[in-house]
């Protein structure tokens, strides 16, 4: 069997930090000497090998040409924490590291709880004026899943898959992994089980599944870093461990903690994707937890979590570890809706142009919305999802001017074009499946055109989400923000309450301090 063959490769030297001939645990870091000799050389300390997926900024759409917008939900938060890491270190983040929807969804908003669990999330819509463009309006769509207490949560079969290769020895990597997963272990219930698998030059089982918190934390404490990175092999062994302890009707999930720097073993991303998809379809999901810098592979971490029907978080501090793994993940491990898709059809009688802010790599074809074979995002208990559209009311100045020639002109510009039935600005459709379902369910909501006509200035939660969205766009280099400054973005946020929102305001100050100064050319 794959499970036994991989364990035998690792041998006694892998278990915990290694075994001495007498059977006592060694203090030497985990390393497979047979592979370490041929490991790829480390990059120079000043060489940045971080990887980010390139995504073009979401384009403007003409309602006459493309009236329907379709995308998969996203509950990842990794981009926000990673952006924070850059800013607190005195750098602006790479533009591709900024995913505006993850910035927005890092925070919680005042959406109501669903009234009936037969529909696992509530749907909220509202409209406000756009602070950076007086000719447009902001349409917000918010989802909130029902909450689940520890007592209500099903039993969990968790496998911690931990990268202990040489690249993980820095203080913000393996030492922080131990702290983070130790916090999650503190929330383990008697019905839960946690196993630990590690990988470097080879993969091995450090801890057989147990409910004993002290055993889990002791195993974590004794891990050390060394060797190359057989990440693919580790994932295979983690899935084998999860399968061997599968809980029918429970939570079966792998949590991989790594910098994503795979360089030995199954490194072909297509093979990894196929492995993850097979296990996902059998009920074993995957969450990725990113750590470290210099060689961090954000692109891979996000992709694997998406394929594994889990979520992706970046851990840059013990505070973030507490937020993600102690305060949030214990409940959100339980999926309440899967393959969640949003589709918005705009009414040309009221809207002429629009753009979706963020979600660039979540876009779906219109026909994918009704196709239950197309994978989409998941919502866990207590999760929230926020999406913002910037829309141009019919008759207002938009980003694109009218076409010159009569046959090229968009005939649906203005109220006279028809389509004003029922006074609807837009129509929202949501498709989702229950966790054990294969057939999607549909929620439909009209959005009243009156909201567009009477849109107030953003206030409260809407003001804060607008500020975060503007911040993401500013860092992305989105020219549609015009002359909006970081100071303007702070003013949008106001004086928010709570640690995380107040920290956001401070991040805008750091970004402002690090932004290049534009100087005017003086001519005598």
DSSP 90-113: T-PPPGGG--HHHHHTTS---PPP
Helix (H, G, I), strand (E, B) or coil at 167: helix
CB distance 287 to 312 below 8 Å: yes
Please report the pLDDT score of residue 7 as a whole number.
36
List all residues 6 or more positions away from 524 whose beta carbon is below 8 Å from its beta carbon: none
- The CA distance from 409 to 420, in Å, is 20
List all residues 6 or more positions away from 190 whose beta carbon is below 8 Å from its beta carbon: 211
Give the tokens for residue 332. 């959100």
CA distances in angstroms from 244 to 158, 178, 194, 224, 240, listed in the order given: 12, 25, 12, 26, 6
Give the tokens for residue 4. 């036994």
CA distances in angstroms from 493 to 28, 139, 386, 462, 463, listed in the order given: 50, 17, 17, 9, 6
If we measure between CA atoms, which residue out of 303, 350, 358, 332 comes closest to residue 63? 350
CB distance 163 to 259 below 8 Å: yes
Average pLDDT value for residue range 451-460: 94
List all residues 6 or more positions away from 324 whose beta carbon is below 8 Å from its beta carbon: 77, 180, 289, 313, 315
Please report the pLDDT score of residue 518 as a whole number.
61
Give the tokens for residue 276. 């993850």
If we measure between CA atoms, which residue out of 237, 278, 200 comes closest to residue 40? 200
pLDDT at 36 over 60: no
Average pLDDT value for residue range 409-426: 64
Give the tokens for residue 480. 């549609």
Please report the pLDDT score of residue 35 as a whole number.
29
Q: 270-274, 303-307, 481-485: lowest mean pLDDT where?
A: 270-274
If we measure between CA atoms, which residue out of 365, 384, 386 comes closest to residue 374? 365
30: left (phi over 0), alpha (psi -120 to 50) or beta: beta
**274 vs 372, more confident:** 372
For the chain, state the CA radius of gyration: 25
Q: In which band, very low, low, confident or very high, does the pLDDT at 42 lie, cut at 50, 70 and 90?
A: very low
Please report the pLDDT score of residue 293 as a whole number.
93
In percent, the amount of the chain with pLDDT more than 90 equals 68
List all residues 6 or more positions away from 507 whose beta carbon is below 8 Å from its beta carbon: 83, 84, 87, 88, 471
Look at the alpha carbons of 299, 303, 305, 306 in this order and tell me if their dihedral is positive or negative: positive
Beta strand residue intervals within 233-350, DSSP E = 251-258, 285-290, 312-314, 335-346
Average pLDDT value for residue range 475-482: 95
Average pLDDT value for residue range 320-330: 87
CB distance 128 to 141 below 8 Å: no
Q: In which band, very low, low, confident or very high, does the pLDDT at 261 lie, cut at 50, 70 and 90?
A: confident
CB distance 183 to 325 below 8 Å: yes
CA distances in angstroms from 123 to 341, 346, 376, listed in the order given: 13, 17, 18
- The CA distance from 302 to 377, in Å, is 12
In percent, the amount of the chain with pLDDT more than 70 equals 84
Average pLDDT value for residue range 376-395: 95
CB distance 50 to 294 below 8 Å: yes
Please report the pLDDT score of residue 29 as a whole number.
37
pLDDT at 2 over 80: no
- The CA distance from 150 to 345, in Å, is 39
If we measure between CA atoms, which residue out of 145, 15, 99 comes closest to residue 302? 99
**46 vs 382, more confident:** 382
CB distance 213 to 299 below 8 Å: no
pTM for the predicted model, two decimal places: 0.87
Write out pLDDT tens, residues 147-204: 987 778 899 999 999 999 888 999 999 999 999 999 999 989 999 999 999 988 777 9
Please report the pLDDT score of residue 22 as a whole number.
35
Please report the pLDDT score of residue 43 as a whole number.
41
- On average, the pLDDT of the chain sits at 86
Please report the pLDDT score of residue 263 as a whole number.
55
Average pLDDT value for residue range 77-99: 97
Q: In which band, very low, low, confident or very high, does the pLDDT at 231 lie, cut at 50, 70 and 90?
A: low
Helix (H, G, I), strand (E, B) or coil at 378: strand
Which ranges constitute the DSSP H helices of 149-307? 174-185, 213-221, 231-244, 269-281, 298-307
Please report the pLDDT score of residue 166 as a whole number.
87
């Amino acid at each position: 069997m794959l499970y036994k063959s991989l364990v035998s490769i690792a041998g006694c030297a892998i278990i915990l930090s290694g075994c001495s001939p007498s059977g006592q645990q060694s203090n030497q870091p985990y390393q497979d000497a047979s592979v370490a000799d041929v490991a790829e050389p480390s990059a120079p300390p000043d060489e940045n090998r971080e990887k980010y997926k390139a995504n073009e900024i979401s384009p403007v759409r003409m309602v006459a040409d493309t009236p329907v917008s379709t995308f998969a939900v996203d509950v990842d938060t990794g981009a926000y924490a990673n952006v924070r890491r850059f800013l607190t270190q005195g750098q602006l983040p790479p533009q591709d590291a900024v995913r505006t929807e993850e910035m927005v969804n890092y925070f919680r908003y005042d959406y109501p709880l669903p009234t009936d669990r037969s529909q696992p999330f509530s749907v909220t819509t509202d409209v406000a004026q756009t602070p950076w463009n007086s000719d447009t309006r902001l349409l917000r769509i918010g989802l909130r899943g029902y909450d689940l207490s520890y007592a209500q949560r099903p039993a969990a079969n968790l496998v911690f898959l931990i990268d202990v290769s040489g690249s993980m020895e820095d203080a913000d990597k393996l030492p922080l992994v131990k702290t983070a997963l130790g916090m999650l272990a503190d929330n383990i219930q008697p019905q839960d089980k946690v196993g630990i698998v590690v990988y470097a030059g080879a993969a091995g089982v450090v801890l057989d599944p147990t409910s004993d918190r002290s055993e889990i934390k002791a195993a974590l404490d004794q891990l050390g870093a060394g060797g190359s990175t057989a990440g693919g092999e580790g994932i295979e062994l983690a899935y084998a461990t999860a399968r061997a302890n599968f809980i029918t009707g429970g939570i079966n999930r792998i949590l991989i903690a790594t910098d994503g720097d795979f360089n030995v073993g199954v490194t072909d991303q297509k093979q990894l994707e196929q492995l993850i998809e097979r296990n996902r379809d059998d009920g074993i999901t995957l969450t990725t937890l990113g750590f470290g810098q210099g060689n961090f592979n954000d692109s891979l971490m996000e992709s694997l979590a998406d394929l594994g029907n889990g979520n992706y978080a970046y851990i840059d501090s013990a505070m973030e570890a507490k937020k993600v793994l102690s305060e949030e993940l214990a409940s959100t491990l339980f999926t309440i809706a899967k393959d969640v898709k949003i589709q918005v059809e705009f009414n040309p009688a009221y809207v002429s142009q629009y753009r979706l802010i963020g979600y660039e790599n979540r876009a779906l074809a219109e026909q994918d919305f009704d196709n239950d074979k197309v994978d989409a995002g998941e919502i866990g208990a207590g999760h929230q999802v926020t999406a913002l559209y910037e829309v141009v009311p019919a008759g207002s100045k938009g980003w694109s001017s009218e076409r010159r020639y009569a046959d090229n002109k968009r005939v649906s510009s203005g109220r006279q074009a028809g389509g004003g039935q029922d006074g609807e600005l837009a129509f929202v459709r949501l498709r989702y499946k229950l966790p054990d379902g294969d057939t999607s369910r549909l929620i439909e909501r009209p959005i009243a055109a009156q909201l567009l006509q009477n849109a107030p200035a953003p206030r409260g939660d809407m003001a804060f989400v607008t500020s975060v969205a503007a911040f993401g766009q500013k860092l992305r280099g989105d020219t549609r923000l015009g002359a909006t400054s970081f100071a303007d973005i702070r003013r949008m946020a106001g004086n928010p309450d709570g640690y995380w929102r107040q920290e956001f305001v401070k991040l805008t100050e750091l970004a402002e301090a690090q932004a290049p100064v534009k100087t005017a050319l003086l001519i005598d």
